[in-house]
Amino acid sequence: MAENDEALTLTVEAASKLLGISRTLGFTLAKQNKFPVPVLRCGRRVLVPRNQLLRLLGEATSSMPAGKECGRV
């Protein structure tokens, strides 16, 4: 099933892409319970709630001063 704007969850791969991190790092963070938002585990699937991820991204962009970019950690 293709992900669309209507889906309530995203795969870790899609969420990682939105966050600008690698798929591997996304899965590593999810496994360690350190993903930036809580993840849902459905059997072997790991899903990221879309609304929480968008809220995080909205807060991150609104708290950055204009003209500044996020630095690497």
Asked whether the predicted pLDDT for residue 23 surpasses 90, the reply is yes
- pLDDT average, residue stretch 22-50: 96
| Arithmetic mean of pLDDT over the chain | 84
Which pLDDT belongs to residue 29? 97
Q: Which helix (H) or strand (E) holds 17?
A: helix 12-19
Cα separation, 72 vs 12, in Å, equals 20
The string of DSSP letters for 34-68 reads -SSS--EEETTEEEEEHHHHHHHHHHHHHTSPTT-
pTM metric for this prediction: 0.72
Tokens of 68: 């500044």
Asked whether the predicted pLDDT for residue 14 surpasses 80, the reply is yes
Which of residues 38 and 4 earns the better pLDDT score? Answer: 38
Band (6; pLDDT cuts 50, 70, 90): confident
Which pLDDT belongs to residue 65? 58
Is the separation of the CB atoms in 49 and 11 below 8 Å? no
